[in-house]
Amino acid sequence: MTSESSWAESAQQFQQIFGQSWSQALQSFQKLDLGAQVPAAAPLKLSQTKLQALQQQYLKEAQELWAQGLQGTPEVKDKRFAGEGWASNPVAAFSAAAYLLNARTLMGLAEAVEADEKTKARIRFGVEQWMAAMAPSNFLAFNAEAQKKAIETKGESIAKGMQNLLHDITQGHVSMTDESLFEVGRNVATTEGAVVYENELFQLLEYKPLTAKVYERPFLLVPPCINKFYILDLQPENSLIRYAVEQGHRTFVVSWRNPDDSLAHKTWDDYVEDGAMAAIDVVQNITGAEQINALGFCVGGTILSNALAVLAARGDEPVASATFLTTLIDFSDTGILDVFIDEAFVKFREMQMGHGGLMKGQDLASTFSFLRPNDLVWNYVVGNYLKGETPPPFDLLYWNSDSTNLPGPFYAWYLRNFYLENNLVKPGKLTVCGEKLDLGNLDLPVYIYGSREDHIVPATAAYASTQVLPGKKRFVMGASGHIAGVINPPAKGKRSHWIRADGKFPGTLDQWLDGATEHPGSWWTDWSGWLKSHAGKQIAAPKAYGKGAKFKAIEPAPGRYVKQKA
């Protein structure tokens, strides 16, 4: 079909398929299943000005596409359609170009909807998911690269793809890396240490000092319970845990248990009191320190903030300083996750698991993956199944696939009181562990970090903590996203970070950035200097783990809790 007459026939077919009237297109758009987020009784209204502009743009680009098709292979600039197979196949290139045109048009229709911002965000999200799933690259019948490989390998790639598909069906998730090449404790999570305490919710890890002297105030890390702690200890060269130990801090880490049915009744209060608060108390007992320094990452930071507020309500101040990495405390801006949250959704979760049950780790992992569907879902569908490829080894993606469950009551309470009602920033509104919380009582110094491209905890949301925590503050914004921005060791010399020297915290992140300066490289060195200023004097490093018979070494780090699969 490379002749001019063939291209003319293709152009006619294209016009028949995609040349519907705009009323027909709108009807098709309104039939989209957006998770029942757009009520059927409230038909969508579109801005007529935007609609007319979109129609004119569509017709213009369609004519240009047909002209390109008549002259040769249309140019397609999208990594999903890169490769010689697409470039050498005019029909495939044309289908890809047509798909991209229609994807842009549908997104334009979503932008033209006249509705409140939340409804528009849900429509955009639904259209993005649909368009990502319908890309020609996702289907063997249309994927020129996969077809080329099948011919070159005499069908071996298709056979291997079927094997990969059956393997992933058995394991319950799409493989993002060759998971057989990794083992927790062998080539990830290898920093030397021991478990010195455990209860039914967590194990406490103490790490072997790497310096002759350590700071008198020990350092406790509280990672998120929504995934496993070893994101902070993937490899020696990018381990935040090892970095803290190398800086002379006596370092402890909470390793949350992967909940099974025996923990299906656990609540938010349990994770605050028997988790973070228990860890703080044990670290004090082991080290004999009156105060410790603490760090909370993501949901771990939210748990830590609650623990500190409970302790403050009880008149206790066991933490000298706190670090919050990509943490939501003020939930006014929850980024893309806001599309899922409303009263009906939260009520459903409360009815489903508010009194017991588990939020399955794979369901959570799938939700987060579909926030970036082309990169974290369909890319692997194409590679694994259509091309029969084995994804390359990547420790970060191995960790990403190592999912964790959550207790239903914990999850449902968290959704309502934080994501839906934003009660943590309302003094006296929340009662946790029997105490009314007031963040205004937390006058300890805090270090707050946000990542510029974070889609889980937007940088604006991380910055919002500066407006509700009353103590002395330092805010730093790093480049990249939720994980890559945090895991950015200085030795790599990558990315950059922003600091404002005058110590002022205006109402918005944009206003803060007006007075901030960009610095090359990792934010870790800035944080390290800040933490040392709150760590006290140096003392001789301990020669043994734990303390006495009560807190003796139970097993080597990383312990058995982190090895439990969801």
Active-site positions?
Answer: 298
Phi, psi (deg, nearest 5) at residue 7 = -65, -35
Both tokens assigned to 560: 């058995």
Burial class (CB in 10 A: 0-12, 13-18, 19+), 185: middle
- Are 561 and 196 in contact by the 8 Å Cβ rule? The answer is no
What is the rounded distance in angstroms from the CA atom of residue 248 to the CA atom of residue 216?
A: 10
- Are 390 and 433 in contact by the 8 Å Cβ rule? The answer is no
Q: Which stretches does DSSP call E strand in 276-399?
A: 292-297, 319-325, 358-359
- Are 191 and 239 in contact by the 8 Å Cβ rule? The answer is yes
Between the alpha carbon of residue 323 and those of residues 123, 320, 344, 529, the distances in Å are 36, 11, 34, 13
- Are 397 and 182 in contact by the 8 Å Cβ rule? The answer is no
Both tokens assigned to 553: 């070494």
Phi, psi (deg, nearest 5) at residue 175 = -75, 125
| 551 DSSP assignment | B
- Are 505 and 466 in contact by the 8 Å Cβ rule? The answer is yes
User: Which residues are registered as beta bridge partners of 452?
Assistant: none
What is the rounded distance in angstroms from the CA atom of residue 494 to the CA atom of residue 473?
A: 25
Q: How many residues does the chain have?
A: 566
H/E run at residue 407: strand 406-407
What is the rounded distance in angstroms from the CA atom of residue 205 to the CA atom of residue 196?
A: 6
What DSSP string describes 78-145? -GGG-SHHHHT-HHHHHHHHHHHHHHHHHHHHHHHB-S-HHHHHHHHHHHHHHHHHT-GGGSTTT-HH
Region label for 281, one of left (φ > 0), alpha (ψ between -120 and 50) or beta (otherwise): alpha
Does residue 427 have a cis bond before it (omega within 30 degrees)? no
What is the rounded distance in angstroms from the CA atom of residue 423 to the CA atom of residue 527?
A: 29
Amino acid at 245: V
| 199 DSSP assignment | -
HSE-CB of 292 using CA atoms within 13 angstroms: 27
What is the rounded distance in angstroms from the CA atom of residue 360 to the CA atom of residue 519?
A: 41
| b/e code 392-425 from CB counts within 10 Å (16+ = b) | eeebbbbbbbbbbbbbbbbbbbbbbbbbbebebb
- Are 240 and 189 in contact by the 8 Å Cβ rule? The answer is no
